[in-house]
Amino acid sequence: MTLPTLAIIGTQWGDEGKGKITDYLAEDADLVVRFQGGTNAGHTIGIGDEVFKLHLLPSGILRKGTMAVIGNGVVVDPEELMEEIKAVEDSGRSVSGLRISDRANVIMPYHKTLDRTEERYRGAKGVGTTGRGIGPCYSDKISRYGVRVGDLVDRTALEEKVRMIYPIKRKLIEAFGGVPEHTTEEIIEESANYGSLLGKYVTDTTVLVNDAVKAGKNVLFEGAQGTMLDIDHGTYPYVTSSSCAAGGICTGAGVPPASIRQVIGVVKAYTTRVGSGPFVTELRDELGEHLQKKGGEFGTTTGRARRCGWLDLVVVRHAVRLSGVTSLAITKIDVLNGMKTVKVAKEYEIDGARVKDFPASISMLNTARPIYTEFEGWKDWSREEATRIIRDGYKALPSQMKKYLRFVSSNVGVPIGIVSIGPEREETIDLRKQKWED
Ligand code: IMP
């Protein structure tokens, strides 16, 4: 295994199956570090009969002996975090490996009110946010009105900040047509209470993570969302409010660029997105519905149905370039089993011209037509065949599927390291341990 440091990045609009890949790779990790996002993320992890839905806790929390770090770039909702801690403890596991950055910003109750109120105000032009207060919290961070985790354990600092900012937030909520849901005193008391519950996990995580990297420990940086939701490089303004590409690791975990050795780009074998915004390969027909049903494409966080479409390599190449992806993890390829043909978009046609690189302009994206390469499909497999594939690995995959995989890899210019053929840990073909054979 060639850790020491490994990053897992979503190459599409999130929901690529990063949770499963992180969980699989976390087996060898000493530290799993989240560096951006908040409770908008949702990772479903199955361990035997148990199913965990994590939004904020790094996936490593479920591995004994692994330290789970919430970095400074994450926005922390203390209420949700306490609930997740309880769920893990109720399963008989310990959260003693949890560490939370004192520099991380806190999602305050008014951020959640504002998120929902602003979405209503935007109406048809809404981003389709998860309503978890993400955008308003990151806005406050950037405009220097944020409350940080360190403030939760410092009553004086907390009171000062809330008393200064909340009167303005109340006016803002009202200006957007909403109603403030909390009093100043409620916010201070509630936040201070969370501070006393979470205080024991709070530390300077940048020291911890950098010390681990220097000591040659296996450090895994766990991305949330996906590159197309990145605040700078995604389909702005239909994006989240953080840096989901690998660059976010440096600021969001406080580590130097050279400390990131390998970057695994997670690619779902087709494309999905929740919320609004352009989606060039979207299938608004029964094929799209088929993918949605077969792939169980309903949000972990909001339960919303995900829009579905063919794999878009213009998107994946954009993500690979931005994050310096060193290998791909292809997920949910089994969802394509049984299809007559499978398509992949290589380029777009916009105003009669061929376009290879993902454009910034939403209006161009809205008129873009995908140029597809079509592949012969492959049969669905029986339980016995699945068992044989798990046992024999890559060489046992259907030949048409291997052709599809080779095309994706050569078009993107990056080798495939992992192919996931189902939700369970063992349904993972690790090509890093095998040869590519026909
Ligand atoms: P926000 O992050 O709640 O502000 O939502 C902004 C956009 O990002 C919306 O389109 C959300 O649906 C989308 N989004 C945020 N988090 C995730 C995620 O973990 N998976 C997929 N989409 C997400």
What is the band of 359 on the pLDDT scale with cuts at 50, 70, 90?
Answer: very high
Residues 14 and 141 in one domain: no
* pLDDT tops 80 at residue 303: yes
Overall average pLDDT of the 274-290 stretch: 96
SS3 state at 374: strand
Q: How confident is the model at residue 3 (pLDDT cuts 50, 70, 90)?
A: low
List residues with catalytic annotation. 15, 43
* Mean pLDDT, residues 208-213 taken together: 97
Q: Which pLDDT score, from 0 to 100, does residue 437 have?
A: 52
Q: Are residues 381 and 422 in the same domain?
A: yes
Domain annotation covers residue 66: yes
- List 220's β-bridge partners, or say none: 6, 32
Average pLDDT over residues 392-415: 96
100 belongs to a structural domain: no
pLDDT number for residue 335: 98
Two tokens, residue 353:
């011209």
pLDDT grade, residue 4 (50/70/90)? Answer: confident
Using the predicted structure, report yes or no on whether residue 206 has a pLDDT greater than 80: yes
Within 10 angstroms of residue 399's Cβ, the number of other Cβ atoms is 10
What is the Å distance from ligand 1's center to 228 Cα?
A: 10
Structure tokens at 276: 């609004």
62 CA to middle of ligand 1, Å? Answer: 24
Q: Is 12 in the pocket of ligand 1 (CB under 6 A)?
A: no
Decide which of 179, 200, 221 is a domain's last residue: 200
- Percentage of the chain surpassing pLDDT 70? 98
Tokens of 54: 């994590």
For residue 285, give Cα distances in angstroms to 295, 308, 309, 366: 15, 10, 10, 18
Pocket test of ligand 1: the residue of 20, 40, 55, 241 to mutate, having most ligand atoms within 8 Å of its CB, is: 40
Would the CB of 229 count as within 6 Å of ligand 1?
A: yes
Percent of the chain with pLDDT over 90: 89
Token pair listed for 409: 């890899």
pLDDT at 243 over 70: yes
Confidence of residue 386 (pLDDT cuts 50, 70, 90): very high
DSSP 231-279: TTTSSTTSS-SS--STHHHHHHHT--GGG--EEEEEEESSEEE-SSS--
Q: Are residues 185 and 210 in the same domain?
A: no
The answer to whether the pTM exceeds 0.85 is yes
Phi then psi for 298, rounded to 5 degrees?
A: -130, 135
- Hey, whose CA ends up nearest to atom 5 of ligand 1? 129
Q: Is residue 15 in contact with ligand 1, taking CB distance under 6 Å?
A: yes
Q: What pLDDT, in 10s, does the model give residues 105-157?
A: 999 999 999 999 999 999 999 999 999 999 999 999 999 999 999 999 999 99
Give me ligand 1 centre to Cα 239, in Å.
7
Nearest of 301, 339, 280, 324 to residue 414 by alpha carbon: 324
CATH number at residue 12: 3.90.170.10
User: pLDDT-derived band of residue 435, with 50, 70 and 90 as boundaries?
Assistant: low
Q: Ligand 1: distance of its center to the CA of 252 in Å?
A: 18
Residue 195 and residue 209 in one domain? no
pLDDT tens readout for residues 48-77 = 888 888 899 998 898 889 999 999 999 999
Q: What does the pLDDT average to over 385-401?
A: 95
Q: Return the HEC string of 13-46.
A: CCCCCHHHHHHHHHHHCCEEEECCECCCCCEEEE
User: Which of 36, 225, 273 best tests ligand 1's pocket when mutated (most atoms within 8 Å of CB)?
Assistant: 225
Last residue of a domain, which of 165, 184, 200? 200
User: Looking at the structure, do residues 141 and 251 belong to the same domain, yes or no?
Assistant: no
User: Does the structure show a pLDDT above 70 at 421?
Assistant: yes
Dihedral over Cα of 431, 342, 280, 284: its sign: negative
382-386 mean pLDDT = 92
At 175, which CATH number?
1.10.300.10
The yes-or-no verdict on residue 318 having pLDDT over 90 is yes
Segment holding 69, helix H or strand E: strand 67-70
Across the range 179-186, mean pLDDT stands at: 97
**pLDDT value at 9 more than 70:** yes
Lowest mean pLDDT among 14-28, 203-217, 223-237, 374-388: 14-28
Each residue's pLDDT tens digit, 69-96: 999 999 999 999 999 999 999 999 999 9
On whether both 190 and 210 belong to a single domain, the answer is no
For ligand 1, whether the C-beta of 235 sits within 6 Å is no
Tokens of 243: 């840096």
Cα 288 to ligand 1 centroid, rounded to whole Å: 20
User: What per-residue confidence (pLDDT) applies to 436?
Assistant: 53
Q: What's the structural domain count of the chain?
A: 2
Residue 438 lies in a domain: no
Cα–Cα distance list, 401 to 121, 245, 330 (Å): 46, 28, 12
The response to whether residue 114 sits with its C-beta less than 6 Å from ligand 1 reads no
In this model, does residue 433 exceed pLDDT 90? no
* 159 and 240 belong to one structural domain: no
Q: Render 115-157 in DSSP notation, one character per residue.
A: HHHHHHHHGGG-----SSSHHHHHHHHHTT-PPBHHHHT-HHH
The pLDDT value recorded for residue 230 is 98
Could you tell me if 289 and 426 lie in one domain? yes
The response to whether residue 132 sits with its C-beta less than 6 Å from ligand 1 reads yes
Q: Is 156 found in the same domain as 182?
A: yes
Q: Separation of 390 CA from ligand 1 center, angstroms?
A: 33
- Mean of all residue pLDDT scores within the chain: 95
Amino acid 424: pLDDT = 87
Q: Which residue's alpha carbon is nearest to atom 21 within ligand 1?
A: 14
In a domain, 382, yes or no: yes
Where is pLDDT greater, at 33 or 424?
33
Residue 28: band (very low, low, confident or very high) from pLDDT cuts 50, 70, 90: confident
> How far is residue 111's CA from residue 116's CA, in Å, rounded to a whole number?
9
14 Cβ below 6 A of ligand 1: yes
Residues 240 and 357 in one domain: yes
Task: Give SS3 for 372.
Answer: strand
Checking DSSP bridges between strand 428-430 and strand 416-420, what pairing results, if any? antiparallel
Residue 419 to residue 421: CA distance in whole angstroms: 6
Best residue for ligand 1 mutational test, from 130, 243, 279 (most atoms within 8 Å of Cβ): 130
Whether 314 is in a domain gets the answer: yes
Is there a single domain that holds both residue 40 and residue 177? no
Q: Give yes or no for residue 223 CB within 6 A of ligand 1.
A: no
Q: What is the pLDDT of residue 92?
A: 94
The boundaries of the domain holding residue 324 are 5-87+205-433
Residue 98 lies in a domain: no
Q: Is 41 in the pocket of ligand 1 (CB under 6 A)?
A: yes
In a shared domain, residues 76 and 173:
no
What is the pLDDT, as a whole number, of residue 69? 98
Q: Look up residue 434 and give its DSSP letter.
A: S
